[in-house]
């Protein structure tokens, strides 16, 4: 994956493992009930903020579209 990304290839990774997502992604998007609820750069995101967005327990951090 990293070799492809280094060559400029865009990759979409779907995972429920938050630590995996935060370890791989440059940008994190979270969908809940078919809607985009979080769209933010990985830097500064915490697992807690991603969980809040995923479960609707807070606004999370970033921009919803």
pLDDT by residue, tens only, the chain of 65 residues: 788 888 888 888 888 899 999 998 999 999 999 999 999 999 989 999 999 999 998 654 455 44
- Measured CA to CA, the distance from residue 63 to residue 29 in angstroms comes to 9
Contact (Cβ atoms closer than 8 angstroms) between residue 4 and residue 11:
yes
pLDDT of residue 60: 45
pLDDT of residue 58: 61
Whole-prediction pTM: 0.73
pLDDT of residue 48: 94
- Measured CA to CA, the distance from residue 9 to residue 2 in angstroms comes to 10
Q: Count, in order, helices (H) and strands (E) of the chain.
A: 3, 2
């Amino acid at each position: 994956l990293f070799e492809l990304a280094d060559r400029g290839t865009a990759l979409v990774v779907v995972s429920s493992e938050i630590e995996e997502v935060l370890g791989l992604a440059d940008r994190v998007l979270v969908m809940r009930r078919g809607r985009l609820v979080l769209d933010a750069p990985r830097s500064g995101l915490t697992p807690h903020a991603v969980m809040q967005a995923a479960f609707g327990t807070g606004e999370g951090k970033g921009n919803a579209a």
